[in-house]
Every structure is written in C-alpha cells, then in structure tokens.
A and B are shown apart, each in its own frame.
Chain A
Amino acid sequence: MTDARFAAEYEGPLLEVSDVKTYFETDRGLVRSVDGVSFTLERGKTIGIVGESGCGKTVLSRSIMGLLPRRGLVRQGSIRFEGNELIHLTPKEMRAYWGSQLAMIFQDPMTSLNPVMKIGKQITESIREHLDVDKDFAYELAENLLRSVRIPEPARRLREYPHQLSGGMRQRVCIAVALAAGPKLLFADEPTTALDVTVQAQVLDLMAQQQSERFMAMVLITHDLGVVAGRADEIAVMYAGRIVEKAPTSVLFRDMKMPYTQALLSSIPKLADESHVRLATIPGRPPDLVNPPKGCKFAPRCAYVQDRCKEEEPPLTPSTSPGHEFRCWFPVGTPEGEAALERNKQKGLRATEALVAADTVET
C-alpha cells in the first residue's frame, strides 16, 4: 500500500480545477466541450454540476478523471489533486489515482458492469488491485461492502451476474465497486437518471450516507436541480462548456442571478402546480460547440437578452454573497435585469413569454 492515503496531509483543497479546457478534434472542427472551467472542492464536501445534456458536464468529469479517449483530445488548464498536477499524466500514471483516490459512478448501471463477470469478481478485483489482501479476505470485504450499500443476501449476490440484478441493485453494486478501494473523491455522473423514480432517492441517500461515513468528497453531476438541492454544498451551473453560475446551494436557490439557472429551475414540474399545466421549457437548444455564438452563449434562448449580450460575452462576476459568481450583463432580480425583461416582454420574445407563463403559474 502506498502511503499516499496516509501521507502528511496536504493543507490546501482536495481538488483544484482551474481554467480546464477540453476540446475534441473532429471532421467538423474543434468541439469545445469544456471551455475554461474552474472550481475547488474541499475534503468531504459535495459540488453539484448541473446543466442540460451536451453542456459538457460529463466531459468535464471524465476530463478531470483522465478517462477520455485520447485520440483527437485536447486538454488544457490545471487539475490539482492534493496539490499534485494531474492534467499531464498518462493513463498509466493515472492508474495510481484511479480507484484508490478518484472513483466514478456512471449513469447507466445496465451497461457499466461487465455482463460476463460475476459481481464478486468485479468488486474483489478492484480491492485486490489496490490493497494487499488475499482472495478470501477480499471476498469478505466485498460482502461487507454489499451489505453497506444495503444489498440483501450479499453472499449470494457475489456469485451472481449483473443481469440477475435489478437496475437499482446494479447501481448499488457500482457504488460498492467505486467505494471498494476507499477513494477520497467520488464522481457521480447522473447516478440516478437511469433508475426508477422510487429508487432514485434511496440511491442518493445511500451515497450521501457513505460519503459522510468515509469523509469523501463528491462531484455530483446531474441535469436535475432537484437532485442537488438538498445534497450539494455548492452548485455550479454549466452551459455550453462554461460555468455560468456558481454559488453555495442555499445562496443559489435564494438569489440566482443567471437567467439560465432560473429557466432550469422553472422547468422542473412542481407539486403545487395544477394538473395538465403545460411544463415550462427552455425554447431552442444548446449551441453548437464547434461554432458557438459570439457573445453570451445563452443569449439566443434567454428571456433577458439585449443587444449587448449578442456581442460581448459576460465574464464570471462575483455577486454580493461570498462564493457566488455568475456570467450575465442583465442579472435576474436586479434593476437592469428587470428592465431588460420588461423590454423583451413588450417585444413579445418567445423565451420571455415562456418564462413569464411559468412565473404566473407559480404564483
């Protein structure tokens, strides 16, 4: 066992991501999937990364993990884990981190376990890769892990194949695999999206419990603000490969500044809504990441959009609350923002009408 896990504690944050860019060279041109993302994560904390499909959140997490296929890949910036720079490491060098320091839970538990390998083998191979234990002890540890992720009859499950388990059970197995070698940082990429609604909360609670027991940090990636609402310490909202708003969870929900965050939130159906109310949607689709728009990337779909937004991209600006940053020229809830919204309402902009419709239903 290397002493990295118990080495003299590094004083700084567990993970420091600064200005990370991840591009893919394709026949169409350079796809800028992640375009200058920065955040830091302390030990034992959770950051939620939220955005629509294609906003770059999955690429970001795999880029930090170093798990992307290398052909045509361009990665820039800095990824420091306990002060060690990871971005230039080869996959071979990354193996020292994978599993034992950084682990990942994937979106689809149906396809992320090997279909022709028994559950027990898939957990113990990870244990035996990182810990110097014999086979029997590894199986004992695996059984305990399955018990800790609340899988009934763990000893029997170890001898079964993935297809003999339900989706929820498989995701628990994936969690057990990820936890097997005691990582300090867990990436959970839409861990509950493929699961039945009734199982989603169970799995999320299980992850939260394991996280606090192990004092593990977590990057929770989701398209659903509801998933991160009660579980993340901090939330970063991503759009077109950039962070467009980032704040401690309570601040974000109380005082969101970015129209995109607001639009995301209002597109979640609410219990208080009457039935058969049309669900608020964000019109249009995320921009082409090969030729993104010149100004603010969200401008073509924004309810607050003004001429300036189409020309100049707003920088990430700090808000009044500490740790709250956003990219917007006409932020939500400010006089400039309200004036912009009012102007657009008069013009009858489609995005504005959609937002206003959602608002009236809410009240």
Chain B
Amino acid sequence: MRVVQFVVVLWLVATFTFALIRIIPGDPIDILLPTQKSNLQAKAKVKEVKEDLGLDKSIFTQYVNYLGDVVTGDLGKDYGSGRPVTDILKKALPVSLQLMLYAQILALAIAIPLGVFTAYRAGTRADRALNATAFGFLAMPNFVLGLLLSFIIGAELKWLPSVGYTPGWLDPIFDSSRTGNFGDHIQSMILPSLTLAVGQIAVYMRLLRSDMIATLQENFITMARSKGLSDRRILWRHALRPSSITLLTVAGLNVGTLIGGAVVVEVIFNMGGMGKAIVIELNEKQYVALQSLILVMAALFVLVNFLVDVLYAIVDPRIRHARAAH
C-alpha cells in the first residue's frame, strides 16, 4: 500500500518535470543550446539533442520514452558540458545527503534536550530565555548565519575550513574515486551543518516543548511519579516517546526546507552538492538535467517521509498494532 503511494508520487513528479520543459515557451533547442543554433559546427549537436529528446516524435511518444528512461536510470545529460546527469549525481548527491543528515541530527540533538528541559521548567525564566534565544536564531536567515560563521570561525579564527568540502563515508559508495580523510570531512561539514540546523532548532524545540507539556499532564505521568521514579527517568523514559509523534512528522516534512536550505548553504560554502548542481544547471538553462535533479530530490523527500511513517510504528506500539490488524 505504502509502496504504491510512493510510486504514484514519483510518477506525478516525473510527469510534472517532463511537462516543465515542454511548457516553457519557445523551441527546447533554443533553450538548451541558445548560443549554438547559428553555429554551423553545432549543427550535429542540435541533431543529437533532437534525437535524444525525440523532439521529432509526438508528445505522447516523448513522454513514454522519458518515463522509460527514468525507470531504467537514464536521467539525461547536460547538453552544454555533455556530462550525463548520473555523473553529476554521483558526485553531488552524497554531499547533500550527508549535509542534510548532519544538519538534521545536529538540530534534533540540540532541540530535544532543550525541548524536554523547557517543558519540565515551563514558565520559568530559563524557559523564556531559551525560547527567546531560539526564536532569535529562527529569525536569522541562513545565508547571513552561513556567511558570518564562514567569515569569523573559518577565515578570521581559522578554527575550521571557511569553505570547501572533503568527501566522507558516503561519497565512495557512489563514486569509488572520491575518498577523503574522515576527520577533514567532519571539519568541513561542521559549519555548513550548523548553518542549516540552526533554523530548525527553534521549530523542533517548540514542538516538542508543547507536546511534552501536554504529556506531563497525563495520568500515567502522575502514576509514574507515585512509583517514586526520578524526574529524569520520567521525562526521558515516560514522557519523551509519547510526545515525539509531531516532532517526527515535522522533521520528515522539514526535509523539504532542508533541501531548499542546502542549496543556499552549498553555494556559500562552495560544496559540490545537489544545491550547487541545481544552481549551475539553472544558470545554464539546462532544463533536462535540472528536471532530473529535481526528480531525485523529490524522490528523496518522498522516501524520507515514507521512512517517517515506518518510524511512527516503532515509536508508538498502538499504531503498530492497528496497522497489523488491517
């Protein structure tokens, strides 16, 4: 059932991205090869693109061919540089995946303890101070924060690299030639991940705080207290899990925000990730490559939220059993 949904969503995304390039006014050739049409030497190239995209055939045939290509892993290419999109992906996808993963982990690792603490101490000065600080960071655009961190901690204090990227554990899996020292990798990722994470912290913290405050009013919490358990145990073992469903949902949906944020962060820190690749293809007006990159990002988003659905069942046994009953 879930798998069917997954496939349907991907099909819709593929259809929309296919339509994108056909809807844009003008001849696709003009868009893809704007400077080369008049050039006699480029005649061959124009022919190649025409045949590649099947522009001489009916739109229906083009569509079926496109879907067939996507399913078989042929994502087209950048007609400017001639690089296949799969090559671009091999290099760019692990960069973005690691960036988003680290940012998400960092955001949750900071937000969860803060959310638990502010719920426990709701209404106190500490609660208000933390909330105000978190909102301050939420209000700061990530390009400002990214530039500040890159400039102060990177360029001025020289504690961490101000720009650049060192491949980590995920890159060799996609492209065996891309290896790097793990320590250098982490160092190159700290500032970008932090930049991307900061905006999420306030959101996650506030969500967890309000759910947690509601959970702490529950009878089973009073019961847990009456057993003589420590506050620490009550907060972490009894209250956190039932309070984390909303957080989980939003953390999954937030991958969309993270993808958008990653575009900016990768440009600031000059990392060759998906964001950077999208910006390049957009500037070059390489819509064929662009639609494939967007399709991959959309697939990623759908996949993450699919995983979140699975996580619900792990966090809450009632959901697990209700599903098993179906």
Contacts and interface: CB of A to CB of B under 8 A. Distances in A.
B41 interface: no
Most A-side CB within 10 Å, residue of B220, B224, B227, B315: B227
Contact of A104 (B218, B223, B321): B223
B227 A115 contact: no
B226 A98 contact: yes
B228 A98 contact: yes
A113 B230 CA distance: 17
A111 B219 contact: yes
B228 A117 contact: no
A130 interface: yes
B285 interface: no
B236 to A, nearest CB: 12
Contact of A100 (B219, B222, B228): B228
Most A-side CB within 10 Å, residue of B219, B223, B229, B315: B223
B317 A125 contact: no
Contacts, number: 83
A163 B224 CA distance: 17
A233 interface: no
Interface residues of A, number: 35
Interface of A is mostly: loop
A95 interface: yes
A67 B222 contact: yes
A116 interface: yes
A25 interface: no
B37 interface: no
Nearest to A174: B223
Given A95-B230, A161-B318, A161-B321, A114 B225 contact: no
B316 interface: yes
Given A117-B238, A163-B321, A104 B219 contact: no
A262 interface: no
B242 interface: yes
Given A161-B318, A164-B321, A112 B220 contact: yes
A116 B226 contact: no
Nearest to A110: B219
Interface of B: 123, 218-220, 222-231, 233, 237-238, 241-242, 315-318, 321
16 contacts: A71-B123, A95-B228, A96-B228, A98-B225, A98-B228, A99-B229, A103-B226, A114-B224, A114-B238, A116-B317, A117-B237, A117-B238, A125-B229, A126-B227, A177-B223, A181-B228
Given A99-B227, A112-B220, 12 more contacts: A67-B225, A99-B226, A102-B226, A106-B223, A111-B220, A112-B222, A116-B316, A116-B317, A116-B318, A126-B229, A163-B317, A163-B321
